[in-house]
Structure 1
Amino acid sequence: MTETLLSTTFSTFQALPFSDRCHRVWQRGDHLLIGVSPGNSYFSHLRIAQLVRWGRQFFDSVDVVHADLHVDTQFAAFGYPADQARRRAAKETKTTRRRIERGVELAGRSRVGVHALSEFADTAAYRRLSGEVAGALAEDEDFRLATEGMAAGFLAARLPEGEAPSADQLAAGVAYIAAELPFFLDTPSLLDVPSSVSCYHVELPLTPVLFGRDQGLRAVPGQGYAVVRPRAVPQVPQVATAA
């Protein structure tokens, strides 16, 4: 990952594009995608407002997409009855949507969109990309292992320390991640923008697979990825005083 900082001196965030190609996509400044997962406390409405304001400094437009597919499947895999899993998923999704809308309103910037992942499920571009993801999961071992590793990492927070996910839990996690992957592969086709950078606050296990290799399933040339994280606040040294 390149260590080039793209934020301004007094900015709230710093950006680390994954590769030189991702850096070039960033420099085009066409579009930033912010992905938000239900139940992730990192994405408070204040954090979303800050991200949107910051992103509009560098990009012509910003979209926030929140996951709402296969959320109920994850709850079911952890033992919730089907009806309860659906209600719990609907509640978390609704809460996430409200938090995003509140943050976007607080940001007060134009050219900012908010979308649920399910809004794209019936589009030709999303169906095509989902098919490519399914094919890669079946045929590309590196891709499958990275996806399963990413799912296991997310599931670990819900499991007792040291316990591995069951087959059903892992399958639910993979399905959830697979539904999001079209936006890491080809956001320009999904949102009709010239180029796009998807961002998250940590590097994901799939990042090197989608953005760092020259074979197999990978992002289109106009798709970039960057870790965008809060800038560390310098600590002010304490001055000793005489007794």
Structure 2
Amino acid sequence: MAGLPPFVLEPFNDRCRVTCEEREHVVVGVSPGNSYFRAELFASLLGWLCEEFRQVDVVVPDSALRYTYLALGYSERRAAKKVHTEVSVLRNRVERGWSAGGGRRPRDGVYLMSDLVGRDSYQSLLARAEEAMDGDPTLRLTGLRMTRVVLLSRGQGAEPTSGQLEQGLRYLVAELPFFLSSADIFGVPSSVCVYHQEVPLADVIFAGGSPLCPSAQQAYAVVRAVDAPGRRPERVTA
């Protein structure tokens, strides 16, 4: 195994592969409350990504997470408290991991989603995402299925109601602008959104046929440790 990189990128398709090879910018998706995201993992992953990409940004979905807790029946106040706790823990893990992995470069960043949602580019992309989610059956069904899994995994004992699914779906819609054009949101020539496993909504968007299409400078890829289970790794070389 000597000589293998600690991680591999798995671009969704050939178009994504081309953008990945540009190595301009990568957005790392993280999920509060997910035990996968350990400080040791961040140290290794962010260190590797800094060697591969000119700019690395991590986005912590604080404002979006609120919708999940509201869907689970939390009051606004209790939801805000839960979000604050989980987001603080995750952000600290990212910062500790980055420090352990060599530290951030001046152009790299850790952002709360709430830091970015006021940008005109984000708002424009969000409007597109909301319209498409309301009008496209495939996109909507995929989002609702993902939402059901999330709510059940967070302790929703009974099957979520339609109202709970609608509320929880807003979390995913809030993340879609980054898959559509994180290049515009961050003002970079091209960008790759990465997560540690496949994201079904992103699969639908990047497969084509959906009214919601990513920009020409946008890519989506799975980043996986070389010993992690999943699809056969495919190295993207610089």
Q: Which TM-score applies when normalising by structure 2?
A: 0.88
Q: Which runs of 5+ in 2 are unaligned?
A: 229-238
State the distance in 1 between where 2:73 and 2:211 align.
35
- 2:231 match: none
Q: RMSD over aligned Cα, in angstroms?
A: 2.0
Conserved in 1, the CA contact under 8 Å of 2:20 and 2:219? yes
Conserved in 1, the CA contact under 8 Å of 2:179 and 2:220? yes
Tell me the alpha carbon deviations over residues 106-149 of structure 1, each in whole angstroms, 9 at most, x when there is no partner. Answer: 22242321101111111110110010011001111111112112
Corresponding position: 1:228 with 2:231:
no
Of the candidates 31, 41, 44, which is equivalent to residue 35 of structure 2? 41
Corresponding position: 1:88 with 2:82:
yes
Q: CA deviation at 1:74?
A: 2.0
Tell me the alpha carbon deviations over residues 62-102 of structure 1, each in whole angstroms, 9 at most, x when there is no partner. Answer: 11111011323322322333322221111111111111111
Amino-acid identity (%): 36
**Given residue 178 of structure 2, which amino acid in structure 1 is its aligned partner?**
F
- 1:4 match: none
State the distance in 1 between where 2:163 and 2:64 align.
13
Q: Which runs of 5+ in 1 are unaligned?
A: 1-7, 234-243
Corresponding position: 1:190 with 2:176:
no
State the distance in 2 between where 1:86 and 1:159 align.
18
Corresponding position: 1:29 with 2:23:
yes
Q: CA deviation at 1:57?
A: 2.3
**Given residue 131 of structure 1, which amino acid in structure 2 is its aligned partner?**
A
- 2:211 match: 216
Q: Which has the higher contact order (CA 8 A, sep 6+)?
A: 2
Tell me the alpha carbon deviations over residues 154-200 of structure 1, each in whole angstroms, 9 at most, x when there is no partner. Answer: 22312467x43222321232111111111111011000111111111
- 1:146 match: 142
State the distance in 2 between where 1:39 and 1:228 align.
19
- Tell me how many residue pairs correspond in the alignment: 226
- 2:236 match: none
Equivalent positions of 1:1-243 (< 5 A) are: 9-109=3-103, 110=105, 111-159=107-155, 163-232=158-227
Conserved in 1, the CA contact under 8 Å of 2:26 and 2:193? yes
Between 1:42-51 and 1:129-138, the stretch displaced more is 42-51
Conserved in 2, the CA contact under 8 Å of 1:130 and 1:179? yes
**Given residue 166 of structure 1, which amino acid in structure 2 is its aligned partner?**
T
Q: CA deviation at 1:14?
A: 1.8
Q: Which TM-score applies when normalising by structure 1?
A: 0.86
Corresponding residue SS for 2:58: strand
Conserved in 2, the CA contact under 8 Å of 1:209 and 1:218? no
State the distance in 2 between where 1:168 and 1:103 align.
38
Conserved in 2, the CA contact under 8 Å of 1:159 and 1:165? no
Change (3 A) 1:160 1:190: closer
